[in-house]
Amino acid sequence: MTSPVLVEGLHKTYSGVPAVAGLDLEIHAGEVFALLGPNGAGKTTTVEVLEGFRRRDGGRVEVLGEDPQSAGLDWRQRLGIVLQSSRGLDLLTVREALASTAKVYRQPRDVDEVLEWVGLGEKRDARTASLSGGQRRRLDVGMGIIGRPELLFLDEPTTGFDPRARRDFWALIAGLAGDGTTIVLTTHYLDEAEQLADRVGVIAGGRMLTVDTPAQLGGRHAQEATVSWREDGGVRTLSTAEPTAEVARLAARFGGEVPELVVARPTLEDTYLRLIEPHAVSVERPVVEEVAR
Ligand SMILES: Nc1ncnc2c1ncn2[C@@H]1O[C@H](COP(=O)(O)OP(=O)(O)OP(=O)(O)O)[C@@H](O)[C@H]1O
């Protein structure tokens, strides 16, 4: 089976300025793939090329076996898309907005079921214009999945969600992935990537820096753990490649519970920040003129 997303040497420039500069990417059927990267890295541009909303300047792109630039309506029926921001539909109620989107698809999901899934059951008769930012985002997600997509693109889907809504959304995505939907997600929330993604790709400067599982990204699994505990009125900390043995030694020394014991591995965020560090844009300090007195 061919991969639902195949990208080789993608190039895209805006007015001669490169936004994507030779990006490679392969996403496997049924996986949740998170695209990470700093602001302006080229994630949205890449995703919009995959969705057929932007023309590329170079490279090969295949999505569900077709070139998005020339694919037709049958191909589009197989995609679900949640853009970074959405507007319109203000005069419709939430249910009407979802039902009108459902009509576009040949085999839509049940509208009321999707309303419940995205936590908008109680808002079904409210005008979309009256929704809060997070509720509007949930409606966007509902519209993205109503068509029963094989491949779902989610561009920063949980921006504005409260913590409970994010957890519910994660469960929804896990359920869709369990049913075999391939999901491509961009996010700035590293905990979201860790929770949802089978693999993550880090983009910086329009290129793919690395692709790996969240646990192994940047050699994270092999990095030392930090063990800390309270002793003699202060917090002691050490780094070790063998935290289990270290904890056993501490437990033996304390003869039981080790006070305030914490064992921490580098988080996905630590690893991500280390990876993109060389690509960080330095912010120059404003020049302050010195006034001679
Ligand atoms: N329509 C456009 N016209 C001109 N330049 C654009 C346009 N869209 C994006 N760019 C530029 O292309 C580069 C990549 O932008 P893109 O939106 O793909 O980044 P991103 O990784 O999605 O960023 P963010 O995390 O902020 O959403 C940026 O420098 C941006 O300013």
What mean pLDDT is reported for the chain?
90
Q: What is the Å distance from ligand 1's center to 183 Cα?
A: 21
Q: What confidence category does residue 208 fall into, taking pLDDT thresholds of 50, 70 and 90?
A: very high
What pLDDT sits at residue 293? 38
Q: Which residue is closest in CA terms to ligand 1's atom 26?
A: 39
What pLDDT sits at residue 175? 87
Residue 72 has pLDDT above 70, yes or no: yes
pLDDT digits (tens, 9 = 90+) for 254-288: 999 999 999 998 889 989 999 998 876 544 444 44
What gap in Å lies between CA 254 and CA 48, rounded to an integer? 57
Q: What confidence category does residue 291 fall into, taking pLDDT thresholds of 50, 70 and 90?
A: very low
Q: Which of 11, 44, 153 to mutate to test the pocket of ligand 1 (most atoms within 8 A of CB)?
A: 44
pLDDT digits (tens, 9 = 90+) for 231-241: 999 999 999 99
Residue 34 has pLDDT above 50, yes or no: yes
Residue 254 Cβ inside 6 Å of ligand 1? The answer reads no
For range 12-31, the mean pLDDT: 95
* Tokens representing residue 232 in the block: 């003699």
Q: Which domains does the chain have, with CATH numbers?
A: 5-217 (3.40.50.300), 219-279 (no CATH)
Express as a percent the part of the chain with pLDDT over 90. Answer: 71
What pLDDT sits at residue 47? 95
Q: What is the Å distance from ligand 1's center to 161 Cα?
A: 23
For range 165-189, the mean pLDDT: 90
The model scores a pTM over 0.90:
no
Residue 203 has pLDDT above 60, yes or no: yes
Residue 12 Cβ inside 6 Å of ligand 1? The answer reads no
Q: What is the Å distance from ligand 1's center to 250 Cα?
A: 51
Residue 202 has pLDDT above 50, yes or no: yes
